[in-house]
Amino acid sequence: MSRYRGPKLKIIRRLGPLPALTTKSSKKINPPGQHGKQTNKPSSYAIRLLEKQKLKYNYGITEKKLYSYIKQARRTRQSTTLVLLQLLEMRLDNILYRAGVTPTINAARQIINHAHIFVNHKKMSIPSYQCQIHDIITYKLKNTYYKFIKTPNIPSFLKVDEIQNCLIIKQKISRSQLLLEVDELLIIEYYSKN
């Protein structure tokens, strides 16, 4: 699957802090581009587009995949915005990132693609796998070097079992537990006009 491989600091300067994209931070204040500063007030379309781009780059997904998540969230009877965020947060690569196993989502994707992760004792090599409640995530048995460690940064919807060296998903994520500051209503509005 294709993903963004360009300069990440330019994206952060344009969109603001994206915790899952990179651990680096830019020393430059102005947005990227010639002369940096933008004199015109952004249009309502531009504001919605930037919110959508935040979501896309933070979770490392393509436009097509994001649109499929939007369609899937619209089909449910629950709040579309909450279901969309839950779909993105319950991806396997994001679960590993939120558990503190990797510093970024791209690093989590690499571990999964190299088949170092098992879900419910089955080898998993799909980073976009949708985890469910009570799923058990473990490392490959040969890798005794890696351990799941309890830290204060682990969100409450995840549970670390250090004895069995596994990660258990206790519940769906709530809106208050998100790391990314995004207005998901603007994203739904962006796709409703298309």
CA distance 170 to 86: 14
Mean per-residue pLDDT over the chain, rounded: 83
Which pLDDT value is given to residue 183?
84
Sheet hosting strand 117-119, strand order edge to edge: 122-124, 117-119, 136-139, 166-169, 158-161
Residues 13-34, mean pLDDT to the nearest whole number: 76
CA distance 138 to 45: 43
Q: Is residue 2 part of a domain?
A: no
Rounded to two decimals, what is the model's pTM? 0.84
CB-based burial label for 154 (10 Å; 0-12, 13-18, 19+) = middle
Q: Is residue 46 part of a domain?
A: yes
User: Do 141 and 73 touch, CB atoms closer than 8 A?
Assistant: no
- The contacts of residue 105 (CB under 8 Å, 6+ apart) are 20, 21, 58, 59, 60, 93, 94, 97
Which pLDDT value is given to residue 92?
92
Place of tokens 């919605």: 48
Nearest to 185 by CA among 40, 55, 11: 55
Residues 75, 111, single domain; the answer is: no
Q: Is residue 165 part of a domain?
A: yes
Q: Is residue 124 part of a domain?
A: yes
Domain count, the chain: 2
Which pLDDT value is given to residue 1?
45
Residues 178-189, mean pLDDT to the nearest whole number: 83
Tell me: pLDDT of 65 over 80: yes
Tell me: pLDDT of 35 over 80: no
Domain hosting 127: range is 88-174
CA distance 125 to 129: 9
Residue with the larger pLDDT of the pair 151 and 184: 184
Which range (47-61, 62-76, 112-126, 166-180) has the least confidence? Answer: 166-180
CATH of the domain at 110: 3.10.290.10
The pLDDT confidence band at residue 143, using thresholds 50, 70 and 90, is low
Tell me: pLDDT of 22 over 50: yes
Residues 102, 170, single domain; the answer is: yes
Which range (32-46, 86-100, 113-127) has the least confidence? Answer: 32-46
For strand 158-161 and strand 122-124, is the pairing parallel, antiparallel, or unpaired?
A: unpaired
CATH of the domain at 65: 1.10.1050.10
CB-based burial label for 69 (10 Å; 0-12, 13-18, 19+) = buried
Residues 105, 117, single domain; the answer is: yes
Q: Is residue 147 part of a domain?
A: yes
